Structure 1
Amino acid sequence: MKSFSSIEWKGSAKRSWDMFKNGCGNIMPTLSKLSKAFLLPIALLPIAGVFLGVGAAISSNSGADSFGYFFGTLLNKMGDVCFGNLPVLFCISVALAYTKDSGIAAITAVVGFLVMNGMQAALLHTQVMDTATIFAKTKDGWHQLVYANGGVDWAASGINMQDVISYVSASSLEVAESGKGLVVNANRELIDGAGSVYYSLLWINKIPNGLITSNIGVTSLNTGVFAGIFVGAIAAKCYNKFHQTQLPSAISFFSGTKLVPIVTFVAVIPLSFIFMFIWPYVGMGLAAFGQASGKLPGGLDSFIYEVAERSLVPFGLHHVFYAPLWWTNAGGSIAEAFNSTTTPEAQKAFVEIWMKNHVDIAQAWGITEATEAAFNIIKTNISTQYTDLWQSMGDQTMAYKVIANIKVLNFTDLEHLGLNIGRFQSGKFGFMLLGLPMAGLAMWLNVPKENRKEVMGIYFSAAFTCFLTGITEPIEYTFLFLAPWLFYGVHMPLAAISFLFAGLFKTHVSMTVSGGFIDYIVFGVIPFFGSKAMTAKSAFAILGVSAAMAPAYFFSFYFAVKYGKVMVPGRDGSASVALATKADYKASKGLNVDGSKIEGSKSTANKADAAEEARVQKATKIIEFLGGESNIVDVDACASRLRLTVKDGSLVDKDGIISLGGATGALIRGTNVQVVYGGEQEAIKPRMIKILDEQRKVKK
């Protein structure tokens, strides 16, 4: 038997490693585009979240039928509708991201989304039991119902409909009396403990009501954002492949872009069946995961989440990671929380705290004491009267739906059902309000005294931006690309600790995208003072966490930068550090990028022309440093980075790109290149696309 020598083993291992690296490099552009796609709907959420939070606070503190009530409800619904339609928004965004912002692809994605959900609606039905096996319970006992002409013959059954307490499908009266029958409603539909109907789809029975929802008016599976992402990807694929297709003359009318929605219409059929086959099981599995992770001791679930989420930030893939936890039942579910609370003690404990928090609603619903029956009344009323709240899933979606329906359910109530809403969000406030700003202060204090005044603006503006809005890129990427060990060895562990304590203290403060002061006011202060949505500890413990993280970040970064000899901006002895890009700075002085004087730079018009010329020259140089037009496959941009796909990453001159100014760093992974600018990328992207088009036309 032939054996490998050590050299052969090493050679084989090296080839395997190279294949793995190449595979990762090819995956990165796809994941990068997916992350960029998520930014479009995410960008809408801040304003929607503010409207929802402020509207809920106004309406809940205004009298019925008053101006304040209607105005607050108006704001609330304007924000709420965005979160209720996240799946189709993600569907459109993915289609746009993979097709260079094609409007045809966006419309096609909506068509595909409607077709997929329409197929599910056609095959989805409630479980109706046979008429010969229905028994009704009254205060006098059990009675078998007699059916005639499609309905119950109450006279023949010997009871009045108004006297019925419950209905059961059972093989005999003895089975019904034993409590082993199947509980149904007046329409003979199988129901759960909250009175919500179970659904059947193909061969799968007893699908919980929480896994069914209305997707833009179509009753279908509640797939969260997952189905939207897949449909958007299919629409994009169909567009890219068929939008230039020429059909035979007899059917040429359907050529080109008209062919795309037709192909997509057919292409989503197998996808719809795949979701129908597996999603009921996947959905129930995700719900089980959400419940299990919520039962981890202390804030361990929050800690683990942040280690993973922050680790993906440098690659721009953190949006892909947190999407399921924020917007699907992987992050928890209201319906599942109620349905999994089955012990009498837990049910009574919930009712007791709920009655204290909702006195008026308790009276309206006839609940006067903490009993199992009262628990079922609450479940039934919420599941039938507040279906959006009942079916909500995902950490952020649940938070927003609770704020929108604070009169019937709040965060404190849900703690008693095992739901720590905010566990994947509120930890950000700890390091965004004070932690990273203090890290910025620590870096600034490491700058030589003679340079501090010159660089004060860049550090303090970045720190204030982080505090106010939660935008961390200017600070994070400064040390990420100068010394990655600072990010992974100092920042990531501290951020995870912030989440650990936020989860431990059950701080139910939600957010839009980032945990800045504005979000804290909207989702912490206003819900607490406006409607007592949470306890004082929940609302204000986050400030204590933030206060604790401030010195932790300051001293960690101060000594790490000092003794690690990290050359943060201004520390290398240069005082020429500014927020403006190098091209903008030279243009304002009447100079080109190469330092030559711009002719006629004294006039305002000429200065504008010079600035544009400088930007064009910069874009041209970037193309050159990327290996030229022939090496560039795609040009894109996100919130802070220029994202590029090239044929050969080894041809990219990273130092050359950074030397042009404005960039705080560049990252190359296989064929994926990311250059961090923090704003200028939005000006560079269209100019690069235009220059590449011109260069390719000349080649033709």
Structure 2
Amino acid sequence: MSSAGATAPQAQWWHGFYGGLQKMGRSLQLPVAVLPAAGILNRLGQDDVFGKDGLGWDNVAKVFAAAGGALLDSNLGLPLLFCIGVAIGMAKKADGSTALAAVVGFLVYYKVLQAFPVDCAGTTTLVGNQCVDYSSKKAANAVYQNPGVLGGILIGFVSAWLWVRYHRTKLVDWLGFFNGRRLVPMITALFGLAFACLCLWVWPPIGDALTDFSQWLSDLDAWGAGLFGLANRALLLIGMHQLLNTFLWFQFGDFTKSDGSVVHGDIPRFLAGDPTAGQFTSGFFPIMMFALPAAALAIAHCAKPHRRKEITGLMLSVGLTSFVTGVTEPIEYSFAYIVPALYGVHALLTGVSMAVTWALGVKDGFSFSAGLIDYVINWSLATKPWLIIPIGLCFAVVYYALFRFIITKFDLKTPGREDEDEIEDVTKA
């Protein structure tokens, strides 16, 4: 076999694998899009809004807190959202039966895990979700194996594969009622059962390893926040940043709320009022609200004179989107693949922002992204949120100066600086 023939299958395999990872990354964005609603509901249920320290509407506060908490629940709500989102996103031509199969598989998996508490030992007896010691008349919440969001993602992925594989399957005539889409939930239920049994055995060492890594990153303090920021932006290029975010944002760490319930993950802990949360979110605010809009302005100012008005309008739009909502991809993708070196500078500075913000004691978080909306809503939950403004302005100056210098110095083909023949070819296409 020639070397060219051997290389072709390898390249094809790699492109397929890479495309699958990108598709997974896009699928994870669907459940993430639900988080703003969860964050707002949860915020309205806090004591300083509708609760006892705010308007005094305690029952109203309970309603909103329960509604938001249902979506942010790291044991059931969040994993189920990710399970459904991944199943719909990964299955080709998915429909409602895809989501139904994912829910069936997840619920079977979840209840099997709940049947085997970890810490009901000694004289305690499992009653509901409590470990009760009748001799001392004390009770404590039972602890279970908790693959959390990662478990939901895996159930969703396999549900999508099973749906694609079996949704057109025809059985023998006397089982014809269970043909096709009606068959998939039954198969998915069996998989959920088997997967739960497997998790009871293999998750403890895997979970411990992930926790140890996250703890190591957390123990690095500002350096850990910086490394996370750098890796997060680097992985955005291939759509895999959500895979990195999942464990740290939604599973690592725990915080016990006033009602005795426990939440996990940097984002749910922050929204629940944990004053130690925000290590892996705080530093995004200066970048998304100030630095990237400044980079967009630099790109506009570097455009050729006859295209400057057009590019300024475009960059103003994407800059405002980043500032208000924290959606940065329109700006980042405008130069990431055209000028990778410029994106490398951006990824490095994002890590610096994460490190500096955390080192200065800023602790802030978001339900969706680090834009103005989350910044305002979560002001009273944050620690030193006012510092984000001067930090952000400093990064805005650095971004503008660096981007403008690098673009003009090396004549980089950012939007508005393309060769005229390239513009013409794009127009014809």
TM-score, normalised to structure 2's length?
0.87
Change (3 A) 1:570 1:128: closer
Aligned to 2:388: 542
**Contact 2:123/2:133 (CA < 8 Å) preserved in 1?**
no
2:95 to 90, 94, 102: 102
Aligned to 2:406: 560
1:465 to 313, 318, 321: 321
Deviation at 1:121, TM superposition (A): 2.9
**1:575-600 superposed Cα distances (whole Å, 9 cap, x missing partner):** x99xxxx9xxxxxxxxxxxxxxxxxx
Change (3 A) 1:478 1:534: closer
The SS at the match of 1:475 is: helix
Aligned to 1:496: 351
Deviation at 1:317, TM superposition (A): 1.4
Aligned to 2:268: 397
**Contact 1:128/1:187 (CA < 8 Å) preserved in 2?**
no
**1:667-687 superposed Cα distances (whole Å, 9 cap, x missing partner):** xxxxxxxxxxxxxxxxxxxxx
Aligned to 1:515: 370
**Contact 2:218/2:225 (CA < 8 Å) preserved in 1?**
no
1:273 to 193, 197, 200: 197
Question: Equivalents in 2 of 1:63, 1:452: separation in Å?
Answer: 49
**Contact 1:480/1:486 (CA < 8 Å) preserved in 2?**
yes
29-38 or 443-452, which deviates more:
443-452
Question: Equivalents in 2 of 1:546, 1:20: separation in Å?
Answer: 45
- Is 2:334 aligned against 1:478? yes
Percent of pairs with identical residues: 28
Aligned to 2:59: 70
Letter matched to residue 322 of structure 1: N
**Contact 1:129/1:188 (CA < 8 Å) preserved in 2?**
no
Aligned to 2:260: 387
Question: Equivalents in 2 of 1:231, 1:189: separation in Å?
Answer: 40
Q: Based on CA coordinates, which of the two structures has the bigger radius of gyration?
A: 1
Question: Equivalents in 2 of 1:47, 1:425: separation in Å?
Answer: 18
Deviation at 1:188, TM superposition (A): 5.7
The SS at the match of 1:392 is: strand
Question: Equivalents in 2 of 1:547, 1:125: separation in Å?
Answer: 49
Letter matched to residue 113 of structure 2: Q
The SS at the match of 1:58 is: coil
Deviation at 1:300, TM superposition (A): 0.5
1:31 to 4, 15, 21: 21
Task: Please tell me the root mean square deviation across aligned C-alpha atoms, in Å.
Answer: 3.1
**Contact 2:339/2:414 (CA < 8 Å) preserved in 1?**
no
The SS at the match of 1:334 is: strand
Letter matched to residue 399 of structure 2: Y
- Is 2:68 aligned against 1:79? yes
Alignment of 1:533-682 (within 5 A): 533-535=381-383, 538-572=384-418
**1:545-601 superposed Cα distances (whole Å, 9 cap, x missing partner):** 212101110110001110111233333487x99xxxx9xxxxxxxxxxxxxxxxxxx
Question: Equivalents in 2 of 1:554, 1:325: separation in Å?
Answer: 31
The gaps in structure 2 that reach 5 residues or longer are 126-130
1:187 to 134, 159, 173: 134
1:442 to 298, 303, 311: 298
**Contact 1:95/1:106 (CA < 8 Å) preserved in 2?**
yes
**Contact 2:365/2:382 (CA < 8 Å) preserved in 1?**
no
Deviation at 1:440, TM superposition (A): 1.4
1:245 to 169, 173, 185: 169
Alignment of 1:337-348 (within 5 A): none
Question: Equivalents in 1 of 2:86, 2:136: separation in Å?
Answer: 38
TM-score, normalised to structure 1's length?
0.55
**Contact 2:82/2:149 (CA < 8 Å) preserved in 1?**
yes
Deviation at 1:660, TM superposition (A): 6.0
Aligned to 2:231: 308
**1:594-653 superposed Cα distances (whole Å, 9 cap, x missing partner):** xxxxxxxxxxxxxxxxxxxxxxxxxxxxxxxxxxxxxxxxxxxxxxxxxxxxxxxxxxxx
**1:216-254 superposed Cα distances (whole Å, 9 cap, x missing partner):** xxxxx3221111111112222221121111111122222
Question: Equivalents in 2 of 1:130, 1:439: separation in Å?
Answer: 62
Question: Equivalents in 2 of 1:17, 1:549: separation in Å?
Answer: 45
- Is 2:279 aligned against 1:423? yes
**Contact 1:467/1:516 (CA < 8 Å) preserved in 2?**
yes
Aligned to 1:296: 220
Question: Equivalents in 2 of 1:321, 1:119: separation in Å?
Answer: 27
Aligned to 1:146: none
Deviation at 1:534, TM superposition (A): 4.5
Aligned to 2:254: 333
Change (3 A) 1:63 1:38: closer
Alignment of 1:19-58 (within 5 A): 21-56=11-46, 57-58=48-49
Change (3 A) 1:315 1:125: closer
Question: Equivalents in 2 of 1:571, 1:17: separation in Å?
Answer: 37
Change (3 A) 1:128 1:477: closer
The SS at the match of 2:184 is: helix
The structure where strand makes up a greater share of residues is 1
The SS at the match of 2:22 is: helix
The structure where helix makes up a greater share of residues is 2
Question: Equivalents in 1 of 2:246, 2:136: separation in Å?
Answer: 34
Q: Higher relative CO (CA 8 A, sep ≥ 6), structure 1 or 2?
A: 2
Aligned to 1:371: none
Question: Equivalents in 2 of 1:502, 1:39: separation in Å?
Answer: 26
The SS at the match of 1:108 is: helix
**Contact 2:150/2:246 (CA < 8 Å) preserved in 1?**
no
Deviation at 1:444, TM superposition (A): 1.6
Deviation at 1:473, TM superposition (A): 2.2
Change (3 A) 1:386 1:239: same
The SS at the match of 2:370 is: coil
Change (3 A) 1:128 1:421: closer
Change (3 A) 1:291 1:60: farther
Deviation at 1:481, TM superposition (A): 2.8
**Contact 1:109/1:235 (CA < 8 Å) preserved in 2?**
yes
Paired residue total:
417
Deviation at 1:515, TM superposition (A): 1.2
**Contact 1:116/1:272 (CA < 8 Å) preserved in 2?**
yes
Aligned to 1:111: 104
Change (3 A) 1:226 1:451: closer
Letter matched to residue 560 of structure 1: I
Aligned to 2:128: none
Deviation at 1:482, TM superposition (A): 2.3
Deviation at 1:273, TM superposition (A): 1.3
Deviation at 1:497, TM superposition (A): 0.8
Letter matched to residue 316 of structure 1: G
Change (3 A) 1:502 1:242: same
Letter matched to residue 400 of structure 1: L
Deviation at 1:46, TM superposition (A): 1.4
Change (3 A) 1:448 1:118: closer
Question: Equivalents in 2 of 1:130, 1:444: separation in Å?
Answer: 70
Letter matched to residue 269 of structure 1: L
The SS at the match of 1:387 is: coil
Question: Equivalents in 1 of 2:322, 2:195: separation in Å?
Answer: 42
Question: Equivalents in 1 of 2:409, 2:307: separation in Å?
Answer: 19
The gaps in structure 1 that reach 5 residues or longer are 1-10, 132-149, 151-183, 200-208, 213-220, 336-381, 403-409, 412-419, 528-532, 583-654, 662-700
Question: Equivalents in 1 of 2:43, 2:170: separation in Å?
Answer: 51
